[in-house]
Structure 1
Amino acid sequence: MRIDRIGRFVPHDARDRAEWDRLRDFCARWGLAAFSRDPFIGGHVTGSAFVLSPDGQAVLMTHHAKLDRWLQLGGHCDGIADVRFVALKEAYEESGLTRIALLSEDVFDIDIHEIPARGAEPAHLHYDVRFLMRAEAGEPKATAESKALAWARLDRLQDYTQAESVLRMARRVRAWA
């Protein structure tokens, strides 16, 4: 299955098919505005990077400063309609790594989740499109967006997060390998 401006995704199960359909419908309804940061259309597309260590045994996690929880790297498209590019750009900006390889052109995972209202911004959805990557050079350095960065072993990821959306990606990496 393919969505213009996002790419190809091979669903693993009914959950994947439902998330992909919701993403496709959102993009069809809003066009390029789906990639903006306008919360008043009900949400926006975001891009995430599940960045594996060079040996593939760990993932780089960020302790998000605003959300105060461990997440994969990623962020808003801010009007850029190339989600793969956004995910890679965010991975570089948030990690301090100097070379990151995209392991597949295909979408690795989709997760649609609600962002609570904050200030004048209403609650809205993030249509998060995730790509699988591998660190090839550089040392992780936390930025202002992070309290810390850590290489979390895939078999111990639950020590950092209980979020099913993150744990699901670790299971997919083990199946992918």
Structure 2
Amino acid sequence: MDRITLKEQLEKYRTPYEEESAFIQDFIQLTEDPLAFNRERLAGHFTASSWIVNPDRTHTLLTLHKKLGRWLQLGGHADGNENLMEVALKEAEEESGLKNLRLVENSIFDLDKHIIPERPHVPEHFHYDVRFMIEADLTDKLVISNESVSLAWFTFDSVVDMIGYNPSILRMLEKTSKSEILL
């Protein structure tokens, strides 16, 4: 997947979720910016994430993010790499230590545009996060990266109780449950 393929997938991407469909056009427009895949674009830039689930679709792997202090899916900055699927897989491996990650589909699973708070030397900005569903085994050894405080598998039933209200996580959880019904 490169910039052109990403734009094509975004143009075809459909979602029943209003909050997600509201910013699809923003993602499409961002693909035209030469700096879109670089964190130096201070107005906002692409990031890529992995919604990691076990093959039975009963658990998801989340990380307690060190800088943000919240449980989130694994992911990170593109740092110039226009292949966001590759970025998502690389970040997932780096942040979890998992080696046997499997891409569920060769397409976008979810999109989220969210604000990142100001930090020293980094102004407040948007992340245009492109997410992919990845499978991993619950029994594989996890290794916590220096970007995380913790890393844990959560049952789908316990996600809300453990992480609180996070609309984008809840949306991915709901999408996963719906995709299982369709299988």
User: Would you say same fold, with TM above 0.5?
Assistant: yes
**In 2: Cα distance, 1:54 partner to 1:143 partner:** 24
In the superposition, the TM-score normalised over structure 1's length comes to 0.91
1:130-149 to structure 2, matched below 5 A, reads 130-136=131-137, 138-149=140-151
Select 1:24's aligned residue among 24, 28, 41.
28
- Report the counterpart of residue 159 of structure 2 in structure 1: 157
Alignment of structure 1 residues 52-63 onto 2, 5 Å: 52-63=53-64
Shift of 1:10: 3.1
Measured after TM superposition, the shift of residue 5 of structure 1 is 4.4
Q: Are the counterparts in 2 of residues 103 and 134 from structure 1 also a CA contact under 8 Å?
A: yes
1:169 partnered with 2:172: yes
Q: SS at 1:99's partner residue?
A: coil
RMSD value, Cα:
1.6
2:11 pairs with 1:10: no
Which aligned pairs between 1:69-84 and structure 2 lie closer than 5 A?
A: 69-84=70-85
Aligned to 1:96: 97
User: Is the CA contact 1:61–1:150 (under 8 Å) kept in the aligned structure 2?
Assistant: yes
Counterpart of 1:11 in structure 2: which amino acid?
A: T
Tell me: CA distance 1:26–1:130, structure 2 relative to 1, closer, same or farther (3 Å): same
Name whichever structure is richer in strand by fraction: 1
SS in 2 for 1:120: coil
Once residues 173 and 107 of structure 1 are traced to their aligned partners in structure 2, the CA distance between those partners, rounded to angstroms, is 13
Measure the CA separation in 1 of the matches of 2:18 and 2:129.
17
Contact 1:39 / 1:122 at 8 angstroms: preserved in 2? no
Q: Is the 8 A contact 1:95 1:143 kept in 2?
A: yes
Aligned partners of 1:120, 1:91: CA distance in 2, in Å? 26
User: How many residues of Structure 1 are paired with residues of Structure 2 in the alignment?
Assistant: 172
Asked whether the equivalents of residues 50 and 132 of structure 1 are also in contact (C-alpha less than 8 Å), the reply is yes
Q: Which runs of 5+ in 1 are unaligned?
A: none
> Counterpart of 1:170 in 2: which secondary structure?
helix
Contact 1:107 1:131 in 2 (8 A): yes
- Identity of aligned pairs, percent? 37
Q: Per-residue CA shift, 1:31-69, capped at 9, x if unaligned?
A: 3x10011142x1110000000023220100001111111
After TM superposition, give the deviation of residue 133 of structure 1 in Å: 0.7
TM-score (norm 2): 0.88
1:65 corresponds in structure 2 to 66
Residues 62, 149 of structure 1: 8 Å contact kept: yes
